[in-house]
Structure formats: structure tokens, C-alpha cells
Amino acid sequence: MSNLIDDVAALMREVAAREIMPRFRLLKEGEIEEKSKGDFVTIADREAELWLTPRLEALVEGSRVLGEEAVAGEPARMNLIESDGPVWTVDPVDGTSNFIAGRETFGVMVALVRGGIAEQAWIYLPVSDELAIAEHGSGAWWHSAGRTERLRSGRAPMELHDVAGAFNTRFMPPDWRARVEGFAAHVGREVNDFCSAVDYTSVARGRKDLVTYFRMMPWDHVPGSLIVREAGGVVRDMASGGDYAPRILAGPHLVARDPESWARLCEAIRTA
């Protein structure tokens, strides 16, 4: 792994210790806002992104940060994802609603993109101090309790009653929502953590078999998609069959542990 991998991991741990964990279950009045209906932001989100931005940009010459909170304040900043230069995607607190509710399912997500291709990705889960890292073409790795192991997503079960999945349908058009919800009624376990950081790492670790998404904001999906792919899984559009890429902003997408199960589960959803 390169020095850059280690440098970014260290920044993520530091920002969690400085700006996120001291506020976990201790948010005060006025430190939570609703950006739009059902979409919340806290002081931890904003301060963490502000702390990370100059430090990430200093690591790679000419790089810019595409952060969730910066885009909320300046929507035109989303155009950075079209740049051919180095762009960092940053989700300072993924799973903000969980963070606000005091649930432990939230994370920090960072990826480095060049020319529309994800090169490296990091997902850090502060409560458990666990970190997933991936480098394009070099695999994905899980760091936990002082140990490092190669991530291998494995194969999903053949039978639907043995399948565990997360189903995000909030932004789906009615036809796809009906299909996904109809399919979800037949799987063995529906495990919705409402946190991309947890969902993607769970698929990469073989703890979930599939996840569905529609809205594909880069900070939510670039890191996890690279980690899943480097672990052996796939992230593809269910309508076209095309692989997800950082410049794609809408689905419907299916994340799966292996290509064969993606095809099988996608067909089951399409015909649900």
C-alpha cells in the first residue's frame, strides 16, 4: 500500500477523534439542521468536512474536494466530478440520521478519482475503529483490532430464503420501487442500516448479499463501489446492466457479492 493510503487513513482517524466522536450522543440544540425534508446535517458533518478538505488537497497536487456539505451550499461544485484532474469525494459523516439518533451505524468515506475513474477508497467506522481500504487493481483490505486481512466478498446463497439484503427505495421511481419491494418480501433477511458505509463494507465482507440504490451521489457510492469490486463483487445498473462509475448520478443500481448472483438477483427483481 502506498504512503497516500496510510496518510488518508490517518487523517480520517484524526478527524473522527477531533470533530465526530466528541459530539456522538452529545449534540446540542442548534447543532442539527434539516437541509431538505428528511435530509439532516450536524455540526459534526460540517466541521469534519472543513477540517479534511485542505488536508486532503495538500496530499495530491492540484486536487480538489467534492464534499457533500460543500455541494449543499454550492450546487455548482458538483461539476468537479467531470474534471479530468484529481478529485476527492468526501462524506464526512455517512449515516447522519443514525448519528443524530445515537446509533453506531455511521462512517467517514473518502475516495480519490481521476478522469472519472476511482483509484483509491477508504471507509472508516469510528465506533468500532475499523477501516476498509481499496486500490484499483490491487485489492481491498479490512483493518480491525490491529489485524489486516484481504477482503473477499465470496458468493451469495442460491436460495432467496437464505439471502440477506438492504433495500433503499426512497428515491426510486414507482415501477422500480414496486419491483424491489416485491422482491424484498421474499428474501430471508432484510437488514437496512441506512448507511452506505456499513452497507458496502458488509457486502465486501460477505455479511450482506445485496443492496439496492437509486440516487448515486459520488460521496455516497464511489468509495464503497471500489471496495466491493476489489473484494470480488459488482455494482451495476439494473436497467442497463452497465457498471457504476463516479459520474453516474442515478440508478437503479444493485450491489452484489459476485457477478453470478448479481445476474440472478437482478432478474428476480426485474420480474418481481
Which residues on adjacent β-strands are paired with residue 253?
213, 237
Answer yes or no: is 87 within a domain.
yes
Answer yes or no: is 155 within a domain.
no
Mark whether 73 and 207 lie in a shared domain. no
Total Cβ atoms within 10 A of residue 89? 25
Answer yes or no: is 251 within a domain.
yes
Mark whether 20 and 119 lie in a shared domain. yes
Residue pair 216/147 in contact by the 8 Å Cβ criterion: no
Mark whether 205 and 255 lie in a shared domain. yes
Whether the model clears a pTM of 0.75, i.e. scores above it, the answer is yes
The set of residues, in sequence order, having a beta carbon less than 8 Å from that of 252 and lying 6+ positions away, is 172, 176, 180, 212, 213, 214, 237, 238, 239
> What are the cell numbers at 189?
433477511
Question: Could you give the number of structural domains in the chain?
Answer: 2
Mark whether 29 and 145 lie in a shared domain. yes
| pLDDT the model gives residue 1 | 45
Amino acid identity, position 206: G
Mark whether 222 and 126 lie in a shared domain. no
Mark whether 128 and 174 lie in a shared domain. no
Phi, psi of 196 (to 5 degrees): -60, -35
**Whole domain around residue 38: which residue ranges?**
3-150
Count of residues in the chain: 272
Mark whether 140 and 35 lie in a shared domain. yes
Phi, psi of 243 (to 5 degrees): -70, 145
> What are the cell numbers at 65?
474536494
**Domain final residue pick, 150, 185, 203:** 150
Answer yes or no: is 35 within a domain.
yes
- Cβ burial, residue 240 (10 Å; 0-12/13-18/19+): exposed
Mark whether 23 and 140 lie in a shared domain. yes
> What are the cell numbers at 267?
432478474
Mark whether 126 and 238 lie in a shared domain. no
Answer yes or no: is 192 within a domain.
yes
In whole angstroms, what is the distance from residue 107 CA to residue 20 CA?
A: 10
**Domain final residue pick, 150, 178, 207:** 150
142: domain CATH number is 3.30.540.10
Answer yes or no: is 146 within a domain.
yes
Residue pair 163/157 in contact by the 8 Å Cβ criterion: yes
Q: Distances from the Cα of 197 to the Cαs of 133, 266, 270, in angstroms?
A: 12, 22, 26
Mark whether 138 and 55 lie in a shared domain. yes
Mark whether 107 and 167 lie in a shared domain. no
**Domain final residue pick, 96, 119, 150:** 150
Tens digit of each residue's pLDDT (9 = 90 or more) over 209-231: 999 999 999 999 999 999 999 99
Mark whether 64 and 124 lie in a shared domain. yes
238: domain CATH number is 3.40.190.80
pLDDT tens by residue, the chain, 272 residues: 469 999 999 999 999 999 999 999 999 999 999 988 888 999 999 999 999 999 999 999 999 999 999 999 999 999 999 999 999 999 999 999 999 999 999 999 999 999 999 999 999 999 999 999 999 999 999 999 999 999 999 999 999 999 999 999 999 999 999 999 999 999 999 999 999 999 999 999 999 999 999 999 999 999 999 999 999 999 999 999 999 999 999 999 999 999 999 999 999 999 98
Which residues on adjacent β-strands are paired with residue 111?
89, 121
In whole angstroms, what is the distance from residue 108 CA to residue 45 CA?
A: 10
